[in-house]
Structure 1
Amino acid sequence: MKWAGEPLRPQDAPALVSKGLMLADSAPRGVVYLSVPLDDWPEPADDTAQALLLQRAVDGSPVVTPQTVETLVTALDRASDPALVLGPGADTEQGFQAAIALAERARLPVWVAPSAPRCPFPTRHRCHQGLLPTDAGSLAKILARYDTVVCFGAPVFRYHAPSTEDFFQPGTAVYAVTDDPDEAARAPFGRMFVGDASDALVRVSDAVTASDRPWPAPLTIAEADTSGPHFTAEAILDAVDRGTRDDDTVFSLEWTSAEMFRDRLTITRARSLFYSAAGGLGWGLPAAIGLKLGRPDRPVVCLLGDGSPHYTIAGLWTAARHKVPVTFVVCTNGKYRALEEFAEALDVPKGEYLHIPDLGILDIARGYGLEVHRAETLADLTEYLKKGPDAKGPRLVEILQR
């Protein structure tokens, strides 16, 4: 949360509402919370103060200096083996297109930052290399291939999995642009610049020298095991991709065991994938509803494991009550796989508490008023998803996962 406040007296509430709106929309954008005591609402406002407040305006968006742009351009032009890393701060209409232009002009391999809650680059582009891992050692080994790494709109770096190895290997220069001063301050290495990442991408892409170096080797996606009746995460994602081959589709992703396979989804435009940055469970279901309400012109598909929706399961009632046409895909494996994997990594004994069988998600969703379906095959799932853009209300489909 970016800011929280409570008025000391009823007449302060309008000013705090204004402050909250300004802070929420300023860089870095984030959630704010204002608590107004119940007995403040009937109190009269200060008309004079309110009139002045309505005339007030705040303009200002931090951008990097021309000297910073020159530094980044020079670093890329002089590099022998440069790479680009993108994070959520680059996932704007402006930043998405500028990243493509920069990658093509300088022939850069493009990585998506670890646990990035967005997809800031097209997944089928020839420069796309995939998602960086979330443990320090593996990430350091990948980036050691390059002499220069330039990051836009991403922390340097977000680690999630345990590792005893060093953050980075010597021989690589790291530069990063972020609109969050705190993010810049806590970076353990690199040269950090504070400013709008999308704006910086546009300016750098316009100024960098066109390169004739060989194009980076494209990302290869291994063929999935499609045998059933319990399917692999890779096979399910492929089936979802075949059913959502539409530039307009937006994904709300909270299927943690499939995070590292999300490149199997075809993303071609900005703001098409949303994932919880903090990793808290229960986010994906209500987020999908909000995404559809915010962009009613785009189909929304919510990809969930069978455990996470139960943290916010009543959101299904909200979707049904207000006829929000989201398609929820629940991948059921009957266990808490994310914790199982961490238990193995940390040598923690696994107990029965990691098994969650017989939750009956179809019965629960039907009870809340959703159309429900059990996909027995991958083709069945694909065909069900193809009908999503024409749906008049929320739908939930379950498929069994290994």
Structure 2
Amino acid sequence: MPTVRRIVHDFLERRGLTTIFGNPGSNELPFLADLPPSFRYVLGLHEGVVVGMADGYAQATGRPVLVNLHAAAGSGNAMGALTNAVYSRSPLVLTAGQQVRSAIGLEAMLANVDAPQLMRPLVAWSGEPAAASDVPRSVAQAVFEAELHRRPTYLSVPYDDWDQELDDNAAVTLDRTVRRGSLPSEYQVAELVARVEAARNPALVLGGEIDAAGLFDRVVALAEHRSLPTWVAPSPYRLPFPNRHELFRGVLPAGIAAVSDALAGHDLILVLGAPVFRYHQHVPGPYLPAGSRLVQVTDDPGAAARAPMGEALVADPGAVVEALLARTAPRPTARAFVPNPEPATAPSALHPEQVFAALRETQPEDTVYVVESTSTNSAWWRQMDLREGGSYFFPASGGLGFGLPAAVGMAMGRPDRPVVAVVGDGSANYGITALWTAAQYGLPITFVILRNGTYGALRWFGELLGVPDVPGTEIPGLDFARIAEGYGVPATTVTDVDELRAQLKSSGLRLIQVDTFPTSPE
């Protein structure tokens, strides 16, 4: 009779979950025994890096990915990175080894007491099978829950379960499928079309879900079809619209009053694929400008339910976009792109705008940028020219440690596109061991470390809150070129823009450390 391990391996193989990101401990070894040849185990040296790599891989491929963590301590190490995966709606299937069943109640070393509770409320579903015979069904549920909710799930499995033999009932799990449909009704479509047609000055606000669903080009077509001024929702983790398009109005600020001010004058605000809204700075004021109505379309029921204003339609945004293209009268805009301004300069070191201009001028148009440098956001959007879907990724919950690991996952998930990670020196320390994995797999990633010796965003926030003299914002003395070489990544340090351009034109795995002038997000 087949073992639990055999059934689970077969199920994962049939579902395409054959790339495993992990950092195993003793409890996990029985699951990893006898892996089929089609499986690939990607080792990370810290659990936060493991989840960051898996998050990048899931966003790059659009598919669930298996993560292998260690009991309570390893799972706890992963939780910071897990917050980003939750808000990017990445379908990660987290598995963790548990002590043998007879030792859990004794709280033996490496027992995870009340394991399902550990990851709540972050994950969409969390469980631990009540018996070995229920492990295959529980693994299947973890996968299906992750797919349905587009959110991570967590499963703890006692390690003595994997060798248990099962009867024929266990095999029925192998052929299961679970699907979801969320098309809007005819009445809902007609009502929305009528509102758009009747609006005097409508505006479009797009979220990361649009890019995740592969709708980048279709929403551009919609904006041009109706000449809609288009914003990106606050705190974007992906870019759903070309940022130099003449209809692009920018990324909405992350304060209540600031959003309302930016959208003033629009009587209809149509939000596609975004919460309304992910605020950050506490800037109180009216949620919406006077005289405006907001309609949100999202396939995330939670985002629809918790919104403080507007009307929500829980449906596939793609179906709504196609309906609006087909049923509304055209008010077309010719496709045009706004030129980039000359990059700003600084009295000492390079200005971040100079770095981003160099990237724009030297990197292919289909480059995937993984960005984790909050203090340079304004400079980034002024200088970059991103015209393809899947070109921009940012930590969705603002949790540091995303950039370097996610770039590794992106490079594995999209080997057909160049990958560049642009990471601040403060952020880089949180996921630095991802460099080792990049070196081991020979991934052709360009890591650009912006070194300004400070937590720039934190200093900016201190000034915003009226506490400019707080400690712990300076980080001098870091040399990422030497650190990278220790992990096996070729590295160099540049100090002028010509040298930077020359380095950016080379290929293969490398890290470029650039000394930059401190800036703020503005």
Q: Name the TM-score, length of structure 1 as normaliser.
A: 0.93
Q: Distance in 2 between matches of 1:73 and 1:349?
A: 49
Which residue in 2 is equivalent to 1:67? Answer: 187
Q: Deviations over 1:171-226 (max 9, x none)?
A: 111111111111001111111010122232222222221126x8899767543223
Which residue in 2 is equivalent to 1:83? Answer: 203
Q: Distance in 2 between matches of 1:262 and 1:20?
A: 38
CA contact (8 A) 1:229 1:376 kept: no
Q: 2:374 aligns with which of 239, 246, 256?
A: 256
Which residue in 2 is equivalent to 1:32? Answer: 153
Matched, 1:15 2:137: yes
Matched, 1:377 2:499: no
CA contact (8 A) 1:375 1:398 kept: yes
Q: Deviations over 1:262-295 (max 9, x none)?
A: 3332212111111111000001110000000001
Question: Structure 2 vs 1, CA of residues 8 and 97 (structure 1 numbering), >3 Å: closer, same or farther?
Answer: same
Which residue in 2 is equivalent to 1:193? Answer: 313
Which residue in 2 is equivalent to 1:134? Answer: 254
Which residue in 1 is equivalent to 2:461? Answer: 342
Q: Distance in 2 between matches of 1:99 and 1:20?
A: 32
In the alignment, structure 1 segments of 5+ residues that lack a partner are none
Q: Secondary structure at the match of 1:373?
A: strand
Q: How many residues align?
A: 394
Shift of 1:94: 4.2
Shift of 1:159: 0.2
Which residue in 1 is equivalent to 2:13? Answer: none
CA contact (8 A) 1:86 1:113 kept: yes
Q: 2:416 aligns with which of 297, 320, 325?
A: 297
CA contact (8 A) 2:273 2:317 kept: yes
Q: Deviations over 1:329-386 (max 9, x none)?
A: 0001101111111111112242341100011111111111111011222232233223
Question: Structure 2 vs 1, CA of residues 49 and 354 (structure 1 numbering), >3 Å: closer, same or farther?
Answer: same
The sequence identity of aligned pairs, in percent, is 38
Shift of 1:92: 4.3
Q: Which moved more, 1:367-376 or 1:261-270?
A: 261-270
CA contact (8 A) 1:304 1:331 kept: yes
In the alignment, structure 2 segments of 5+ residues that lack a partner are 1-122, 518-522
Q: Deviations over 1:84-105 (max 9, x none)?
A: 1100111146411210111111
Which residue in 2 is equivalent to 1:113? Answer: 233
Q: Secondary structure at the match of 2:157?
A: coil
Give the AA of the match of 1:23. Answer: E
User: Matches of residues 3-402 of structure 1 in structure 2 within 5 Å?
Assistant: 3-26=125-148, 28-44=149-165, 46-92=166-212, 94-211=214-331, 221-227=340-346, 229-244=348-363, 246-263=364-381, 264-388=383-507, 391=508, 394-402=509-517
Q: Distance in 1 between matches of 2:214 and 2:431?
A: 33
Q: Please give the root-mean-square deviation of Cα atoms over the aligned residues, in Å.
A: 2.0
Q: Secondary structure at the match of 1:320?
A: helix
Q: Name the TM-score, length of structure 2 as normaliser.
A: 0.72
Give the AA of the match of 2:472. Answer: Y
Q: Distance in 2 between matches of 1:231 and 1:145?
A: 39
